[in-house]
A and B are shown apart, each in its own frame.
Chain A
Amino acid sequence: MKARNIDLTVACGIDDAMRRIAIVRFAELLTLAPALHTHRARDLHDFRIACTRLRCALERFTSKEPSLLEAASRLSQLQEALGNWHDREQLLAMVPELQLTARRIAIERDDALSRANALWRDAFAAYGPFEGLMRFTGLGYGFADGEAPGAGT
């Protein structure tokens, strides 16, 4: 999915510009989060890219806004879990003739997706890793207490 354009011409100062960037990138992530529930490869790939975009942006802001550090760190963990899922998904398509090996890889792939789901759900807990990001952007409230957007059951 193409990254949304961010209108910084109306930003009043650096703090406002940071907030505008974080809001758009976080909104992109929330919109794509149902992929964790549907398990569609294309949607999960887009969700992973959105994690990368938001993380890159937040890491730039942490020197001015340290409250975003935890969210950046959680996004890095999410990216790693989704990266592991993606690698195994690719590998499975390459080795259909290796049945025993493919079975192991499929287990690892499913584990990686479960981990991504758990990381996402937990991020929205009260005082969880996304607390600072939710405060900063004003987005994401109402999903706490185990009801993270798009989280699978």
Chain B
Amino acid sequence: MIILIEHMFDVNSRRGSLGESRILNRLMADDRVIDWAKTLGEAEIRAFMKARRRFLKRPSAKHLHDVRTAARRLRSLFKDFRDVLRPRRSKRLRRLIEVTSEARDAAVLRKTLRTALDTRERRVARATLSELRARERACFARVRRLLAGLRYST
């Protein structure tokens, strides 16, 4: 089993990952695969842009979740189809995912702490809860800024 897995990785790493060979790879790939990848890419970009519009119009925890999910799906698509699709704005996308994850973490940790909190320790926990709330708010503002500068056209 392990040998089979390693073999799969070997087969995949035969080609270099330099920009030059990527361009060559795109030229060599099957047209049906390229068309399919483009269709998938356009669908993911549309979903991301829709989530982006909603968040910028009304920032909320739900809309943040949608932006984060759409951004992660788009990044995952660029990784899966690195040989046939040109990754676009990948650094900004990665940064956006990092900040939305920070915001999500702060919100979830605050909720989890409030739920698990022993009443005898409520006073001691107040500072941590406030810090998490402040972190969440700061991340929301950063997500807004990042989203304003991140656009895709299909």
Residues of A whose CB lies within 8 Å of any CB of B are 3-9, 11-14, 17, 21, 23-25, 27, 30-31, 52-53, 56-57, 60, 87-88, 90-91, 94-95, 97-101, 104-105, 108, 139, 142-143, 149
CB pairs A–B below 8 angstroms (13 shown): A5-B12, A7-B14, A11-B29, A14-B32, A14-B36, A23-B8, A24-B8, A27-B8, A56-B77, A87-B108, A104-B116, A108-B116, A139-B1
B40 proximal to A (CB < 8 A) = yes
Contacts of B1-29 to chain A: CB distance below 8 A: 1, 4-5, 8-9, 11-15, 17, 25, 28-29
Chain B residues within 8 Å of A97, by CB: 124
Q: Within the complex, what minimum Cβ distance (angstroms) separates B2 from chain A?
A: 8
B44-61 Cβ-contact flags toward A at 8 Å (1 or 0): 000000000000000000
Chain B residues within 8 Å of A95, by CB: 113, 125, 128
Inter-chain CA distance A90–B104, complex, in Å, is 13
Contact B15 A105 (CB under 8 A): no
Contact A17 B15 (CB under 8 A): no
Main secondary structure of the interface of A (DSSP, over half): helix
Contact A94 B109 (CB under 8 A): yes
Chain A residues within 8 Å of B117, by CB: 98, 101
Inter-chain CA distance A25–B33, complex, in Å, is 18
Chain A residues within 8 Å of B8, by CB: 23-24, 27
Residue of B nearest to A23 (CB): B8
Chain A CB within 10 Å — which of B1, B28, B82 has the most? B1
Chain A residues within 8 Å of B11, by CB: 7
Inter-chain CA distance A104–B118, complex, in Å, is 9
Additional pairs, 7, CB under 8 Å, beyond known A17-B30, A95-B113: A3-B79, A5-B12, A5-B13, A8-B81, A9-B25, A91-B113, A101-B117
In the complex, number of A-B residue pairs with CB atoms less than 8 Å apart = 118
Residue of B nearest to A59 (CB): B73
Q: Within the complex, what minimum Cβ distance (angstroms) separates B60 from chain A?
A: 20
Contact A27 B29 (CB under 8 A): no
Residue of A nearest to B131 (CB): A94
Q: Within the complex, what minimum Cβ distance (angstroms) separates A24 from chain B?
A: 6
Chain A residues within 8 Å of B112, by CB: 87-88, 91, 105
Q: Within the complex, what minimum Cβ distance (angstroms) separates A7 from chain B?
A: 5
Contact A8 B83 (CB under 8 A): yes
Contact B17 A5 (CB under 8 A): yes
Contact B33 A14 (CB under 8 A): yes
- Choose from A9, A57, A98 the contact partner of B76 (Cβ within 8 Å): A57
Chain A residues within 8 Å of B99, by CB: none
Chain B residues within 8 Å of A53, by CB: 76, 79
